[in-house]
C-alpha cells in the first residue's frame, strides 16, 4: 500500500457543525472538501470497441465524472471502456456518452436526458449521485430526478442499469470525521438507486458492496487529486459492473432476436 501525505481541504464548516450539533452542517463541510478540489481533466469515453465480425450493441451513458474519468491518462482507463474490452469477444460496442463531470441527478435530468431521448440503444447506463452526496442535494430531489430519468429511458432502450454510489468515505481527501458523514450520505443515495431500479422491470442496479469491499483509502486507487479513482480504481468498478452489463445485453439482444 502506498503511504504518502494526503492533502485535505480546510474544514470550514466543521466548527459550526460541532457547535450546532446539526448533521446538515456537517454535510456542508463535505461540500467544502469537494469545492476545494484541484482541476483535473476528464475524457469522452464515446467510441467503438470490438471487432467488426461481432454483433454491434449501443450503450448510452449518462452521468458525471465516474463516466468521464477525471484524472485518468486515457479514456481507455475508464471502467466502461474496460468492460467493453473484456466483452469484446461477444459484442462490438458503440459507446455514446452524454456525461459531464460534476453533474448531479437533477442536472442529468434537465441537461442530458433530452439529448438521450433522441437516441436508440441496447443499454443505457446512469452513473450519477456522488455529487448529490457532496453537494448535499435533498434526498427527495434525488428520488424524484432519478425516477423521472429511468421512467423516460424506458422509451430509449430495453435495459437500464444504475451504477449506484460507492462509499465516498473512502476518499483520501475527505478527513475524519467527515468521512463518517460522507459514508452515511453515500449509503442513503445508493439506497435510492436500488429503490428506483426496483420500480421498473427493465432497470437494474450494480451492487455497491462489491466495490466498497475492495475500495480502500489506498492511494494507488486514486488519481493525483486524491479524489477521483485511478485506472486501478476504475478496474474495481469494471469488475463489479461487467457481469451486469453482460447479463443486460444478453437479455436485450435475445429480445431483439425474438422479435426479428
More confident residue, 81 or 175: 81
Is the previous residue joined to 177 through a cis bond, with omega within 30 degrees of 0?
Answer: yes
Within-domain flag for 120: yes
The per-residue pLDDT for 12 is 32
E strand spans, the chain: 47-49, 56-63, 92-97, 123-127, 160-162, 203-205
216 assigned to some structural domain: yes
Query: Does pLDDT of 232 surpass 90?
Result: yes
C-alpha radius of gyration, the chain, whole number: 18
Q: Is the dihedral of CA 176, 170, 69, 106 positive or negative?
A: negative
- Is 14 within the bounds of a domain? no
Question: Higher model confidence: residue 11 or residue 114?
Answer: 114
Dist. CA 111–CA 121, nearest whole Å:
19
> Rounded to a whole number, what is the distance in angstroms from the first to the last CA of the chain?
52
Query: What residues have CB less than 8 Å from 47, skipping those under 6 apart?
Result: 75, 81, 94, 95
Q: pLDDT band for 195, please (50, 70, 90 cuts).
A: very high
Q: Of the candidates 63, 71, 129, which has an alpha carbon nearest to the alpha carbon of residue 96? A: 63
What would the pLDDT profile of 16-49 be if each residue is shown by its tens digit? 333 333 345 455 555 555 556 656 679 999 999 9
Q: Does residue 30 lie in a domain region? A: no
Q: Give the pLDDT of residue 34.
A: 57
How many domains does the structure of the chain reveal? 1
Widest CA span of the chain, in angstroms?
65
Q: What is the pLDDT of residue 73?
A: 95
Q: What is the reported pLDDT for 254?
A: 87
- The CATH number for 78's domain is 3.40.50.1110
State mean pLDDT over 84-92.
96
Q: What is the pLDDT of residue 128?
A: 98
44-66 pLDDT per residue, tens: 999 999 988 999 999 999 999 99
Q: By percentage, how much of the chain surpasses pLDDT 70?
A: 83
Expressed as residue numbers, the domain containing 252 is 43-258
Residue 2 banded pLDDT, cuts 50, 70, 90 = very low
Domain assignment present for residue 35? The answer is no
Question: Is residue 15 predicted with pLDDT exceeding 80?
Answer: no
For residue 167, being part of any structural domain is answered with yes
Are 249 and 95 in contact by the 8 Å Cβ rule? The answer is no
Q: What is the pLDDT of residues 100-156, one digit of tens each?
A: 999 999 999 999 999 999 999 999 999 999 999 988 999 999 999 999 999 999 999
How would DSSP label each residue in 83-137? HHHHTTTT-EEEEEE---TT--HHHIIIIIHHHHTT---SEEEEE--HHHHHTT-
Inside any domain, residue 9? no
In a domain, residue 68? The reply is yes
Q: Which pLDDT does position 258 carry in this prediction?
A: 66
**pLDDT the model gives residue 93:** 98
- pLDDT, mean over the chain: 87
Tell me how far CA of residue 150 lies from CA of 56, 63, 131, in angstroms.
23, 12, 18
pTM of the model: 0.86
Output the pLDDT for position 85: 97
Quote the pLDDT of residue 154. 97
Percent over 90 (pLDDT), the chain:
72
Amino acid at each position: 500500500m502506498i503511504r504518502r501525505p494526503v492533502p485535505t481541504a480546510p474544514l470550514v464548516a466543521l466548527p459550526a457543525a460541532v457547535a450546532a450539533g446539526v448533521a446538515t452542517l456537517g454535510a456542508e463541510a463535505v461540500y467544502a472538501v469537494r469545492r476545494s478540489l484541484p482541476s483535473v481533466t476528464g475524457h469522452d469515453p464515446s467510441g467503438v470497441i470490438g471487432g467488426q465480425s461481432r454483433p454491434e450493441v449501443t450503450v448510452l451513458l449518462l452521468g458525471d465524472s465516474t463516466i468521464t474519468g477525471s484524472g485518468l491518462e486515457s479514456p481507455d482507463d475508464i471502467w466502461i471502456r474496460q468492460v467493453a474490452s473484456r466483452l469484446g469477444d461477444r459484442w462490438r460496442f458503440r459507446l455514446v456518452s452524454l456525461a459531464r463531470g460534476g453533474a448531479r441527478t437533477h442536472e442529468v435530468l434537465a441537461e442530458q436526458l433530452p439529448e438521450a431521448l433522441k437516441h436508440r440503444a441496447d443499454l443505457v447506463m446512469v452513473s450519477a449521485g456522488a455529487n448529490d452526496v457532496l453537494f448535499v442535494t435533498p434526498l427527495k430531489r434525488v428520488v424524484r430526478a432519478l425516477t423521472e430519468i429511468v421512467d423516460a429511458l424506458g422509451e430509449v432502450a430495453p435495459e437500464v442499469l444504475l451504477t449506484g454510489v460507492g462509499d465516498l468515505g473512502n476518499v483520501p481527501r475527505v478527513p475524519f470525521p467527515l468521512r463518517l458523514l460522507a459514508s452515511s450520505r453515500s449509503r442513503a443515495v445508493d439506497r435510492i438507486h436500488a429503490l428506483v431500479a426496483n420500480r421498473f422491470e427493465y432497470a437494474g442496479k450494480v451492487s455497491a458492496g462489491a466495490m466498497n469491499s475492495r475500495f480502500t483509502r489506498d492511494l494507488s486507487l486514486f488519481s493525483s487529486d486524491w479524489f477521483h479513482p485511478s485506472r486501478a480504481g476504475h478496474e474495481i468498478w469494471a469488475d463489479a459492473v461487467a457481469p451486469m452489463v453482460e447479463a443486460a445485453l444478453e437479455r436485450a439482444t435475445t429480445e431483439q432476436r425474438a422479435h426479428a
